[in-house]
Structure 1
């Protein structure tokens, strides 16, 4: 993969988006079907248009493409075929074209397509020839690359160098493609993350032990099937003592025995919990109020399973929990046979969601298990996927208990003592770690030094330390409502590095005038003495921010939540000096916000629900419960769930004075200062900036032609929410590179994340780089500032090359974690709605219209759904936001309910139709249109809907 390509502005091309001329491999639903070589032609609506080596055009969603070679051919070879290709945007149009192709010749003429087809055929032929030359090695790829017991990681490049015995520099595109096909043919032994594999080339190599387990259980199931068939054919029951052909094999009895035990456990479970078709077992029929003496859960364990049952359960977990058999239909077909044989799930599809349900009913999984933790690619240390990772976690825990970390301060000789300067740390009472604090000093008439002090763990251990190894694997701390999966162990933060009295810090200082302009900058290692802990509410009171408690919507099910812990030393009234300092800080933060806005920064405030889960008196969160595979686990009672949210309003409305604005602006200022400090010194770092999608119109054009006219028509001067969302899409995405470039969304020129080294690995990398620079300046007695891009930087722990290798996997990892955190929140919100709606555990804050909707004349509570997306590739539903709770909602297409078609920006009154916990989704049925925006996003401005300019010119 060529990650070094750049666009005309010198910004690295983000390979998450395909570009015309990219070679791709088209795979089908099953990995057992031969793939096809094709070239990406253009974006067409929600789809990508591809031209195959067989001379046919196809439409596929970009995310289905798992392998590409960026910039494989010049667009000069593509341009001749474009006039003959259809232009379609919707799935209906594409299906019509597919039907039309059966009766009409819609193919591109050979005269136009021949050069392009010849290139692809030549590539494919060379790949086949290479496979033939190395067949013996490639067919044994898993045996060569895998470990006996441990999960391994690697890249396509590393696998190719090992298998082909070719140096990395000599690997051709054909060689990489050939090795990838070999790994795909190897079946279950190799695994890739479909969300990022095309960009990273990373692969997981399952252990020989796991592959053997799957093969072994598959053999047992086949023997059991043969025995069932024999019994049907002969009308005779087998058994261990039966003779001749009637004898049941020992391996078949393993399955019979497991099914008998499991069925008995499930029947017992259903005395307390109902089976449901909604992807989760029902809530307990018993309730235990949380008190200081007891929690809300009572767990009883029994041991009925032997080692054969244990293997069968692991086989089912691989299928249901991690979807490990996806793409392997022969494997996927086996677990449903076991569920079918028990006769307990006759009314619902025997899919992976039913597999989760079964594992909950036998007690392997908790009844409220959040399956996000089982993601094989998230690979949490507690997920039991990797033994080396579990061993590293144990080593770090032992290191903390035995105090064998051997920390030594590499910056002790150059630390600045901040003495009695008050450092304000603003966070919730129950914050897991304190990363940052802010202080202010007057620097003259209408001038101030604002200091952002950041926790400094990296000064005490290097990039090769075991703590750093865990941080690199994790990427960042993953906060889920039930528990936090920390990047660094709690003892590191609690006892050593969270900001507090006499704790080390790295300080980013900016000298500012009354208008927020930057006059000077400094970066220093330091130590803070006078730390003042404040909550956002206390800061809001000090700066005069208005509180609007009536805006909050709180929904609780399962009982009463224990009272929150109180601060040991609450700040009822701040001393006047502190209050004045915070007011000055807020004034400067507000000015900084204006500066970023003038620089093109975009400001929006999404109403995200806050979710808390309680099972004990001590506080929110759940214990560390792992899958139980020894027998039945009966769980009586359920966690209490509380969701605190707000009704959705326009995200782009101005936000009033708040502690959030103060903290946000100075954290961004610290990140900007860190980036510019490194840029001035030619120090490579993980700079973040904006990259434009290749198929979207320019953001400034959208603002001029769509957003500004809509704002003028609006009564409050703010464009409608749906236009604001469309504007965000035109801004493209954020990417990483080792030199500074503009971050358009933030309005900053050199942005590096720097403020959370206790919970983000990227911040740790930046701190190591800066610390090395500070030590070098102290050693030489002169500044490192230079314009020489080739200046010697050998004293740094990370070079441009090493950072490029790190960021290849880091950014997809960060996206995966962002997705996992959102999924974790959605799971518990869905669980609350599931219990409230399907089991009447509590009222929901929807309103009731004064017109009958039920046959008996009664009324139903309705929810208002704002349509954030009317995706043209989904014929059955549209995506929206429930305005009453600010949660994601799927709405059935109105035309399928006898109503007029939906439009982007609509607000519909809906009945809640279903809450599916497995899919983490709420489905609503539209009742009537409540509001429609007159101004729509023009078709040519929608992401992915742009026509190909050359095509129109040629066709005209």
Structure 2
């Protein structure tokens, strides 16, 4: 037998933790993680490349499993009779391995989630969640979303439940979540009390509050087929906690007999998918080369089917059946390298979005894989000896390793180093002359290696189970500068990129991992912009030369913050000869008159979707300052005006859209408008934490100051004051009219507080070398504290005027049959008979009474109302109380608004050409003059919706845009004493997330979540089983992990246990009268706490 000189590669998780001595220059021994179930119990375990050998339909073949079990039991009997250490040659290989494992115990084997959620010294990049398994597939409320991402707030309105899926009873999905190694097919049975119920292909019941999936087959099962399962579900009226709990008795749960029809149907679906895989194996075995040649960056399974399946697979209607689409999705998911799932089946998409790596990145990965294999085939090169260094330099990877070590060593002399965690320390050269000369040190080959490490650790372009992860870990281990860290995963990879100058020390990881599809984060800040300046000649490009309406002396109020540069909307009022009727004009920057459909600037805007307000990394959707200069509303600027004739009752009587030119624009801030039009003071919520944390010296700004003239309330003349008061009165009437149509009450009914970081460039400086690396100095300043929503609150006048413009646009386009990106809520329409009385009689009264509804109420509302979806057809927007709604008022900042403007401009031009009002085309026909047909627009909307969702998450007010800065500030205060922190906090138990720790909230630290390992209870309770949800412990911080956005604490003393306040030796309660407080009076870590 030939023996390969190359040593076998092991799982990247094992390598990251430390491979055997022969593989590791540091000599770490191979260890396997502690786990909770054996591989033998993983019934459906299969590799990513074995979909044909282990087809999904085999899950339904009970005969084979019974046969395998009997053979296995017989083999185990023979193994048990062996002498200790004896493994006979006659045993099959699999049984010999089992015997060896029995003779060399190394702990139990856990689910994949336990492996991927590391211990204290492991990679914590993705450990925000951990799966809990049970026989009923129960919902883990925090497994799918950060529970604290909105700080307990549940916004209603246009973007409510933005990244949800839209499914109907009878739809088939691919079930996700839990600790299962393989996905299952599942039929959506129904929802009750906010809980989604699914019946799975293995006969189990699958429950979710917020279901997510990668695949949806609509209309799979009939009502009759689902009825036996539905009859066994908890009855209506059962609380959510009861729904998520297990059945009280085994005979209450649906049996396989009850689900026989569904099981047979899912089995046939799986067999049909297997047949498609076999018939198209020549393409589905290796889909990457085919799709990569098409120059496709993002694709769905439906789109990929057009390139991967033969025409004979199509059904009688010419479309590919759902089983064929599922086969394509399974084949693509089996690609370990080159294609990854970028986003699940959100909104109304029926399959997930895949990202296809470009061929040059694929070549980079293959080249680095070869380098790593060659290096580790020469163990002597990894020895820390003179001979080892000589051999190391002979390898392509070796020269990079030596140069990288020098960079790391220099970096650690310039910044404080924290070896225990992937924490970048502060610049310690305050009193020294800082050398910022950026000298290139990467060779062209080194840059290829660096690009690979960027893909691995910064972008996280590889699936968590891809073998490519091992190469990043092996490179870090060979560098040998992270010996104190047990787990050389992506978090340490990020630290490496910072230490060698590839990533700036103050950069945030989220903007690389959660980048909007089609955009590329600039490592120097913001986004890469390769657009050429747009030559703008206003008169030459105007589609309405000489025919624009001149608004003359009509005053348009641009109500926005003084720092805002992109002024894209203003509002005015015009009195009519009819008493009680007025024209409200919403003037909007006329972007579509300069930026053309499908131009380079339009395509760039489409990729960004919106202006990015990521803190410290502001990026305009239209970055050309010439566009901003010509189109931002000011005297003499073009405007597309949306006009509505309204009466004192708030009724919209007539609407029109007019291109024009503004002559009089008054810039004024919302706070000044409030002085003229005072609003009813809103009651305040408790702010939860008075703690303010500031690290660094606040100086400089990431934003360019504006030079626009701002008016105060005192500067307004009498006519302007009257106009504002009239506009406010009409806007209020319009709002009340929408309330009559069951719109949700204004969310400003109660002043909310949120934790918000502010950042400043402070002393930061950097220089970029020709090889792309940086030399930098200084640290950004971060201030974290509680801010009232009222600080950035938009006035009632502006909010309702913009909604009015959206209704005008929707009605105008619907009357003419113009496809535009309507915002609709089809699930609310479907459930209107149940939804309407429930919100009217139960939900809205709570809001109107300034009470916060319970989470169960929001869960039910989410289920009944569903998400706001983009559609080319108008439909009900329940939360706004409108039958048609299109966003049109922010074309400088939102691409979908520009799309609507493109369509409207084309329609206006056609009406001007024919001198007739357009009529909606007959069914099956379309307007030929539009830049986007209905089909074209429908194809764009899913990706645009996903981009919009990502931008919102990364924005200044989104859950991802601020949190990493909060944890950065905490890490700097905790590890480097840059700011004071309280020594103790109250820990309010939320739930037990796993068998390893409790999860709780820290009210004294902005309600952030923290984990308390059971090993750090320190005896404050006799048993963890004594603790229940709502109990309180006094704790202190032990760990801050910025990349994982994770806190760990240890217990100091009990405050409330088992729902009972703990009484101290003096007879007083330790629960502080039940108030959740920050222990601001306790001795601080450093100095005094700012409150």
Q: TM-score, normalised on structure 2? A: 0.69
Is 1:469–2:614 an aligned residue pair? no
| Pick aligned residue for 2:888 from 740, 749, 754 | 754
> Offset at 1:919?
2.5
Counterparts of 1:283-322 in structure 2 under 5 Å?
283-287=426-430, 299-322=436-459
* Cα pair 1:457 1:497 within 8 Å, conserved: yes
1:576 and 1:839, CA in 2 relative to 1: closer, same or farther beyond 3 A?
A: farther
SS of alignment partner, residue 182 of structure 1: helix
CA 1:52–1:570: 2 relative to 1, 3 Å = closer
Name which of 338, 360, 373 aligns with 1:222: 373
Q: Secondary structure at the match of 2:954?
A: helix
Give the one of 558, 582, 600 matched to 2:696: 558
CA–CA distance in structure 2, aligned partners of residues 147 and 787 of structure 1: 39
Cα pair 2:614 2:961 within 8 Å, conserved: yes
Query: Which residues of 2 match residues 307-456 of structure 1 at below 5 A?
Result: 307-341=444-478, 342-347=480-485, 349-375=487-513, 378-379=516-517, 381-383=519-521, 393-394=529-530, 396=531, 398-400=532-534, 408-444=541-577, 445-456=579-590
Give the whole-Å Cα distance in 2 for the aligned partners of 1:789 and 1:288.
Answer: 75
Residue in structure 1 matched with residue 309 of structure 2 by the alignment:
164
TM superposition shift of 1:668:
1.0
The match for 1:941 is none
Are the counterparts in 2 of residues 450 and 512 from structure 1 also a CA contact under 8 Å?
Answer: yes
Q: Is the 8 A contact 2:810 2:822 kept in 1?
A: yes
Task: Answer whether contact 1:686 1:762 (CA < 8 A) is retained.
Answer: yes
Distance (whole Å) between structure 1 residues aligned to residue 788 and residue 711 of structure 2: 30
User: Does structure 2 conserve the Cα–Cα contact (< 8 Å) formed by 1:687 and 1:751?
Assistant: yes
Matched residue of 1:399: which SS?
Answer: coil
**Within 2, Cα distance between the matches of 1:788 and 1:871?**
59
Structure 1, unaligned stretches of length 5 or more? Answer: 1-12, 242-246, 649-654, 849-859, 934-956
Q: Which residue of 2 aligns with 1:674?
A: 809
Mapped to 2, the partners of 1:711 and 1:375 lie a distance apart of: 37
Residue number in structure 1 paired with 2:759: 613
Superposition deviation, residue 276 in structure 1: 5.8
State the SS of the aligned residue for 1:274: strand
For residue 918 of structure 1, report the CA deviation from its aligned partner: 0.7
Q: CA offset at residue 36 of structure 1?
A: 4.9
Corresponding residue SS for 1:464: coil
Q: Which residue of 2 aligns with 1:734?
A: 868
CA–CA distance in structure 2, aligned partners of residues 135 and 405 of structure 1: 56
Between stretches 374-383 and 124-133, larger displacement belongs to 374-383
Q: Among residues 918, 925, 929, which one is paired with 2:1043 in the alignment?
A: 918
Distance change >3 Å, CA 685–CA 582, structure 1 → 2: same
Question: 903, 906, 911: which is aligned to 1:772?
Answer: 906
**Distance in 1 between residues matched to 2:967 and 2:797, nearest whole Å:** 33
The counterpart of 2:326, out of the listed 173, 177, 191, is 177
- 1:597 corresponds to: 739
User: CA separation in 1, counterparts of 2:538 and 2:338?
Assistant: 37
Deviation at 1:416, TM superposition (A): 0.7
Partner residue of 2:418 out of 275, 279, 299: 275
After TM superposition, give the deviation of residue 512 of structure 1 in Å: 2.9
Kindly provide the CA deviation profile for residues 686-735 of structure 1, in whole angstroms up to 9, marking residues without a partner as x: 221334489999444554675478689xxx66456767756764543211
CA contact (8 A) 2:538 2:594 kept: no
**1:509-559 CA-partner distances (Å, limit 9, x unpaired):** 2233344333432221111011112222332333356999x9999754311
1:334-358 CA deviation, whole Å, 9 max, x = no partner? 3223334415252453332222122
Distance 1:418 1:280, change over 3 A: farther
Given that residues 754 and 767 in structure 1 are in contact (C-alpha distance below 8 angstroms), is that contact kept between their aligned partners in structure 2?
Answer: yes
1:77 corresponds, among 222, 225, 244, to 225
The CA RMSD over aligned residues, in Å, is 4.8
Contact 1:689-1:743 within 8 A present in 2 as well: yes
**Corresponding position of 1:213:** 364
SS in 2 for 1:301: coil
**1:418·1:529 contact (CA, 8 Å) conserved in 2?**
yes
Secondary structure of residue in 1 paired with 2:377: helix
1:558–1:809 distance in 2 versus 1, CA, 3 Å: same
Instruction: Please tell me whether residue 488 in structure 1 is matched to residue 622 in structure 2.
Output: yes
Q: Any idea what SS the aligned residue of 2:510 has? A: helix
1:621-667 superposed Cα distances (whole Å, 9 cap, x missing partner)? x99988x794974432111224564268xxxxxx8997522211111
Residue 641 of structure 1 aligns with which residue?
782
Check the 8 A contact 2:926/2:933 in 1, yes or no: no
Q: Distance in 1 between matches of 2:992 and 2:581?
A: 51
Q: Indicate if the aligned counterparts of 1:882 and 1:889 stay in contact, CA closer than 8 A.
A: no
Give yes or no for contact 2:508–2:964 (8 Å, CA) kept in 1: yes
Once the two structures are superposed, residues 870-905 of structure 1 have per-residue CA deviations (whole angstroms, 9 ceiling, x without a partner) of: 6989995557685875x754475999774986668x
The CA deviation at 1:505 is 0.6
Q: Which of 61, 66, 82 is the matching residue for 2:214?
A: 66
Aligned CA distance change for structure 1 residues 553 and 143 (closer, same or farther; 3 Å)? same
Tell me: CA distance 1:196–1:629, structure 2 relative to 1, closer, same or farther (3 Å): farther
Worse-superposed segment, 190-199 or 498-507: 190-199
Aligned to 2:99: none
- CA distance 1:75–1:629, change in 2 (3 Å): farther
Tell which deviates more after alignment, 819-828 or 526-535: 819-828
Deviation at 1:817, TM superposition (A): 1.6
Q: Distance in 2 between matches of 1:703 and 1:423?
A: 37
Contact map agreement 1:277 1:348 (CA 8 A) in 2 = no
Match of 2:722 among 580, 601, 606: 580
Change in Cα spacing, 1:36 to 1:411, as seen in structure 2 (3 Å) is same
Secondary structure (helix, strand or coil) at the match of 1:192 reads: strand
Offset at residue 498 of structure 1 (A): 1.0
1:921 and 1:659 mapped to 2: Cα distance?
33
Q: Give me the TM-score of the superposition, normalised by structure 1.
A: 0.78
Equivalent residues of 1:738, 1:800 under 8 A apart:
yes
SS in 2 for 1:484: coil
8 Å contact kept, 1:647–1:884: no
**1:16 — aligned with what?**
165
- Give 1:186's aligned residue: 335
Alignment partner of 1:770: what SS?
A: helix
- 1:94-105 superposed matches below 5 A: none
Would the alpha carbon gap of residues 766 and 25 (structure 1) be closer, same or farther in structure 2, given more than 3 Å must change? same
Count how many residue pairs are aligned between Structure 1 and Structure 2.
860
Q: Using the alignment, how far apart are the partners of 2:941 and 2:707 within structure 1?
A: 40
Structure-1 separation of matches of 2:853 and 2:188:
35
1:266 counterpart residue number? 408
1:8 aligned partner: none
The equivalent residue for 1:257 is 399
SS of the equivalent of 2:467 reads: helix
Deviation, structure 1 residue 752: 0.7
Q: Counterpart in 1 of 2:27?
A: none
Aligned residue runs from structure 1 range 139-154, under 5 A: 139-147=285-293, 152-154=297-299
Distance (Å, rounded) in 2 between the aligned partners of 1:891 and 1:30: 20
Structure 1 residue 461 displacement after superposition: 3.8
Query: Contact 1:510 / 1:520 at 8 angstroms: preserved in 2?
Result: yes
2:719 is the alignment partner of 1:571: no
Say whether the 8 Å CA contact 2:700–2:761 is kept in structure 1.
no
- CA-CA distance at 1:187 after TM superposition: 1.9
Cα 1:29–1:110 change in 2 (3 A) is closer
**Contact kept? 2:765, 2:778, Cα under 8 Å:** no
CA contact (8 A) 1:63 1:195 kept: no
SS at match of 2:887: coil
Q: In terms of mean alpha carbon deviation, does 436-445 or 14-23 score higher? A: 14-23
SS of the aligned residue for 2:265 comes to helix
Instruction: Write the distance in 2 (CA, Å) between the matches of 1:656 and 1:262.
Output: 47
Measure the CA separation in 1 of the matches of 2:246 and 2:886.
Answer: 49
Deviation at 1:437?
0.7
Tell me, yes or no, if the aligned pair for 1:305 and 1:629 is still in contact at 8 Å: no
